[in-house]
A and B are shown apart, each in its own frame.
Chain A
Amino acid sequence: MLINLQHINKVYQQGDRQFHVLKDINLQIAQGEYVSIMGSSGAGKTTLIDVIGFLDRDFAGSYEFNGQPVRQMGENQAAALRNRHVGFVFQNFKLIPTLSIGENIELPLLYAGKRRKACRPLVEEALAAVGLAGSFRKFPNQLSGGQQQRVAIARAIVNQPDFIIADEPTGALDSATTKEIMAIFTRLHQQGKTLLIVTHDPKVGAQAERMVRVADGRVVDEGREG
């Protein structure tokens, strides 16, 4: 099992108030699955994928990734895990504006210890996979929202991660562009990638094989039939 969450609980402290954000989550995701995580805002979807994506290790319960326990890891180990196993796609693209497209996509490879020369062909490959071949030297502010999101996806896949986490990837895009982006995700899944897509848009969520519903910090529907 790729991702195995057992009895995950998370509490936020704000001032002297406590928010129990994740309540006894049990969730398993296997390699190659296309999962959408749906729920209204404030339900805890984002917090859940923060935990799954090794961004947040402050939780109670057990998270095993490929059989390896995550909670006891230090920050350096978690960073290495993120670099090696996860590709992130965010709602507002999160590209570094002062770097070129190619330099943005390169980053996971550089942090994996590669030389810049070795990165170039891999970056070009990723750009081609999202339909943006030849954009290496352009800058983010020269691209449309949809194009920027494609760059973000290219960045997410360039280091061949085990799974891709997308947090509301089409939230800032119009319906036509949304269709294009979702087509890319479908293609990635067909190539065998594991996808976790957080969304509140039912149309987007329906494109996944399995829909996990989250409400008020709990998984209310695991989306597994039978």
Chain B
Amino acid sequence: MRTSELFRSAFESLMRNRRRSLLSMLGIVIGIAAVVMILSISAGFQQNLNQTLTRGGSGKQTGTIYFNAKDTSSKLPSFTEADVSLAKAVPGVAKAKIQSWAGNQQDVKVAMGGTSKRQSWVLETVTHYNKRITRGRGLTAADNDLRHRYAVVSTGFATRWAKHHNQVVGSTVNLAGFNYQIVGVFRPAGGVNLFTNEAAIYVPKNAYAIGTAATSGNALNLTLTSSANSKRVLNQVAKALRKQGSAKNRGSYEVQDNAKALAAVGKILKGITTFIGAIAGISLFIAGIGVMNMTYISVAERMPEIGIRRALGAKPRDITNQFLLEGTMLTAFGGLIGYLVGSLLAVVVGHFLPFPVHFEGSAFWLAFLVSTAIGLLFSVGPARSATKKNLLELLR
């Protein structure tokens, strides 16, 4: 039989038993939908992770050198501008920046007004802050130099504050025993960030007396060129600092390769994804068994029909191909529907997640290929068995 006619014949046969075909397809639809949904969500999570860890975004290689001071009470800076120049001189380093670490964050208890109960908020000291200001203004370097007791608060803080105060900007808040004037409100960046908590209150560093030494935990953030061997370059910077760093005698330098950290987390993520994927794979296997069962029943039911077709001139392979095609068309179509359902579900679930879901074109082909393969694999047995019976027995 012509191939085009074989396809048409198989399709019409499936349409004749619509309910049975749909039920057999259901297993594949569910299995593929589950796999697609999981893959999209995990891909989105991984992408978000990438962006968070590589602080420059855009996939640039980054690394960090930490300084651990021997004398933790010392107030001497861990890194100076000289150190920055030293780092930049190392080939492979594109940018270098001193960063105050999360050690500059702390919890403060703030009396929000009205009731006497205090709420705990995360406060961070900065040299300046000007991101996503929605009301008033940010903190300038001048504020820091002049040690102004100004504060910029998050929208979440502002909402609570406004319950007991007429205005936010311009009002006074007491932080760790001192009064600060709120000069602006900012909108938090949001998103899932595994390494830092975003603060709700920013104040100038010089205005805020911190008990802990500013030297411990300071870090030098490095952005490397794309062609650099991150491990080697970072080690070279550390070596240069150990030789000529401004704090070389006061403590030790430690390298953190962000790429490695990223790879480590990525590995864990991959492991989880693989595990869940395997479970979804088992469901696909079970669906395949369902298709095989249905095809066997179909063959048994249509034995007289098979006898007639063969008497009229159908070769054994015509019969085998017919049933093989019926099973495969079923699963392939189920795979397509499963992909659509899974994508839809991923979008719906994505609304409840703090990161966007990520669709890859490869997921579509994966779904199509896997479902077609399942159809072929699980239909071969029954399709072959359709021609095993003796023709004469079938006819009489």
Contact = CB atoms under 8 A, between A and B. Distances in A.
B141 to A, nearest CB: 82
A207 B318 CA distance: 38
B396 A83 contact: no
Contacts of A76: 315-317
Instruction: Classify the secondary structure of A's interface with B.
Output: helix
B5 A75 contact: no
Contact of A79 (B5, B310, B395, B396): B310
Interface in A106-123: 107-108, 110-116
A109 to B, nearest CB: 10
Interface string A24-47: 000000000000000000000010
Interface in B341-396: 391-392, 395-396
Contact of B396 (A46, A114, A155): A46
A94 B308 contact: yes
Interface string A84-123: 1000101000111010000000011011111110000000
Nearest to A106: B5
A107 B9 CA distance: 11
B2 A75 contact: no
A98 B309 contact: no
Interface in B76-132: none
Nearest to B17: A98
Contacts of B315: 75-76, 79-80, 111
Given A55-B391, A113-B1, A116-B5, A96 B308 contact: yes
Contacts of B310: 79
Interface of A: 46, 50, 55-56, 75-76, 79-80, 82-84, 88, 90, 94-96, 98, 107-108, 110-116, 155
Contacts of A96: 305, 308-309
Contacts of B309: 96, 107, 111
Interface string B281-323: 0000000000000000000000011001111111111100000
A111 B392 contact: no
Interface in B198-252: none
A155 B2 contact: no
B313 A79 contact: yes
Given A50-B392, A113-B2, A83 B313 contact: yes
Contact of A111 (B304, B305, B314, B396): B314
A46 B396 CA distance: 10
B19 interface: no
B164 interface: no
12 contacts: A50-B392, A55-B395, A76-B316, A79-B310, A80-B315, A96-B305, A98-B16, A111-B1, A111-B309, A111-B312, A111-B314, A111-B315
B313 A115 contact: no
B392 A83 contact: no
Given A50-B392, A76-B317, A107-B308, 19 more contacts: A55-B391, A55-B395, A76-B316, A79-B318, A80-B313, A83-B313, A84-B313, A96-B308, A96-B309, A98-B305, A108-B312, A110-B1, A110-B5, A110-B9, A111-B313, A113-B1, A115-B4, A115-B5, A155-B312
B8 interface: yes
> 3 shortest A-B CB distances, which residue pairs?
A83-B313, A111-B313, A79-B315
A102 B22 CA distance: 27
B392 A55 contact: yes
A82 B316 contact: no
A115 B2 contact: yes
A96 B392 CA distance: 17
Contacts of B312: 82-83, 88, 107-108, 111, 155
A116 B5 CA distance: 7
B88 to A, nearest CB: 74
